[in-house]
Structure 1
Amino acid sequence: MTAFDPVRWRPAPLLPEADVRDGALLFVVAVLCFLACLTAIGVIASDRAARGWIGQLGGEATVIVRPTRGETPDAAAARAAEALAGTPGVAEARALEPAKAYDLIRPWLGDISDLEDLPVPRLVTVTLDRKAPADAARLTAALKAQDVDGAVDDHSLWIRGVKRSANLARGLGAGIFLLIAAAAAAVVAFATRAGLAARHDVVEVLHLSGAGDDFIAGLFQARFARMAAVGGLAGAGAAALVGAALRLAGGPQGVTPALPVSWVDLLAVLPCPLAAAMVAAAAARFTAAGLIRALE
């Protein structure tokens, strides 16, 4: 018989340290956190792409120039560029070379050898001032002041489409994240219910010893919060590895220009273990408290 050593003695935990169901719960929580982290990285990357496209579209405008009074298309484009160059809110206005204009319409017309015989309008590209960009009305007024027949495209239609897509991506990401959080809470609640059923005798002994309902519920809360934190750490680590692989495989633009994953995006996985622990703690607390009251 081993002699009792009060120095080395430590009280045993009121709940067992290990359970055969812990591995399955850890795996499920890790997978859910992995999916949540990937969703967050994807939403951040897509939002960055949308902001970049909006910045590029909002910083430029295109003017379609039609020649009048017998002047050549190139002369009309040159007059339009000169008229717009001095407009407040315009950083630069440049007439597009005819060859580039032909290249823009060639894919739509098919294999036509001689496009010079077609009445192709000339284009003027306008770079707007980033601080105080000129709007379409001001550009149109500048053209009319110089008697230039031109149509201004400030890309507002495309900008609205990009903004709409970005908002949709953010909404879908938030919805997926909430669904994953709800699934994690349901899993933890089920595990808490199973754990209480398996340890019904422990709960009764604690009650007989004078332990209150809050104390017993706190034991299950702490247990499942620790497990969820470990699962969240594993899932977040796996998601960070996948994000790093996508960043390395895709180069500076990420996987595609539509999903430019950056190294800073990987920081989005850092709150995952804490968030998983908080969700698990709340789910375990409410479930355990309700079941304990029902057992009384």
Structure 2
Amino acid sequence: MSLEVIQPGLMSLLQDSGRFGQQRIGLTTGGPLDPEAFALCNRLLGNEAGATLVEVSFGGLVLKATVETRLCVCGAEMPLRINGEPRELWRVHPVRAGDEIALEFATAGCRAYLGVAGGFAIAPRFGSASTVVREKIGGLAGDKLQPGDSLPCSANRDAPLRYLDEADRPHYGDSVTLRVIPGYQVDHFPPLEQRRFFASEYTVSDRCDRMGYRLEGPAIACDIEGILSEGICFGAIQIPADGQPIVLLNDRQTIGGYPKIGAALSLDVARLAQLTPGATVRFEAITTEAAHNALHLARHRLQHLPLTEYRP
């Protein structure tokens, strides 16, 4: 019993909540680039919080069901069709054996999460099913989905049919402001360079992937060219020799030697990962305390968003 991959789309990866505690052996975290959409998809389906879903980047995924189950898609505006009929995102839909599920190309945002009730049954590697293609680990043979792949799942006719009200859904635009916690290397950036960094607008380049988003704009100078390689946190903002910031994401390398001006708040990095090349990014400094407050408030909101049941 499974969903069979007819067309894999541009980049479709099996992801759970991520691979934690393994950086000491050189394995990065992986996991969903947009944890909010990922979590809401699992909540709507009644799954465990970290159940395995498919992260669909840009669209083009076509699946065929060989099982009766419930299905939900959350995230970017990626038109969903079941047997050619339009279906709403952020809503659980019944699916029967033989049904064809298609996700068209995104019109706003670029990452969506497709899940089934109970999640996909993928054996964990080093504590997680998350796919990291660079490391060839997780998912199905450590690679993106391919035509003919089978996504194993259980039959489920009993999961409640629910939806998230439109007013409570995230909306994806073409710009984002990243709140930044300055790091211990910030003093290596002269005051003028810091002001330039926080006052300037940057453009998302076409050199972006799950490792990091490269930005283009006013170059930022540092009084050191490099440092001894050290561990790198999620959201770290590296400034390489060309002065163009790189915001590091889930599949980042575990160590690096570029100076870092700070780390972006994870809530905002999720919005960054929904941007496509040409979108704009600005930076805003915040304190560690403000970051903690924002995270706690967002977590509380996510856990308490009301879900509404409906009849088919």
TM-score between the two structures when normalised by the length of structure 1: 0.18
Larger radius of gyration: 1
The TM-score, its normalising length taken from structure 2, stands at 0.18
Q: Which has the higher contact order (CA 8 A, sep 6+)?
A: 1
